[in-house]
Structure 1
Amino acid sequence: MLLHKKYLLKEMESITMDLQLMTSQRNELRDRLLFINEGNRPYHKPNPFYEKLKLEHKQIMWELKIFENENTEASKKLSELTEERVFYRFTQLQSEMEQDAVQDESQFQKEMLQQDPPAEPHPQQALNS
């Protein structure tokens, strides 16, 4: 029994030394890791308020993108409609100018007819009738 107890004590001493060595190695590796990662933030448990704000920000940015797309489409449509309006207005003005020219010509011919009475028909024209 005494032999067994001595064996256990020796084994325990050996395990304790191994544990101390591993602890020392762990601490050294941790120090190296801190040195390598200097300036990097250590891991922190996510803050629920911050996570909620991040989600809200993402949602708002998504909606903003949709509004920008809608605004772009509306601007294009407005440009198309403006071009169409200008075209139809130009066509209307051109038509009015042509109508005015026809009326002016008609008025001019009426005035000419009123100023110059019709001449007697040419004898050849009278024979054809």
Structure 2
Amino acid sequence: MMNRKHPSGVFMMEMIAVVFFFILCAGICIKTFVKADLISREAADLNQGVLIAQSVAEVWKAEGPEGLEIRFRSYGQEDGLDGYAMGFDKSGNSCEKEKAVYDVRADIAGPGHAEVTVSKNGKQVYTLTVTRHETQQ
């Protein structure tokens, strides 16, 4: 019989190189999907923050601080400042402070001026500056 040599060493090296290449590609794909998910979550938080800030601003413009207390269960003035704190759940509905996902602060900066700040987990999501025009009667 003939003595044949098996080129298994070269084949094994090729297989290791191919597996390494696929692992590298899979890692890049996973990293890309994780980054896209993070960007998507941040965009959803920004969108919800904008909607909440607009709602708070519209109520303040139409009804003043009393409207914030009545409609959004405002915690009232805090820290001796002319500001009102409110809590909103993940759907953008007002809720108690303990259940809040979004913390909202409406700082009254003087007659007819306010700044609405929406935060999530202590991180500021959106800030809206509002001007209220008083009608002459």
Q: Mark the structure with the bigger radius of gyration.
A: 1
User: TM-score, normalized by length of structure 2?
Assistant: 0.44
Name whichever structure is richer in helix by fraction: 1
Greater RCO, CA 8 A, separation 6+: 2
User: TM-score, normalized by length of structure 1?
Assistant: 0.46
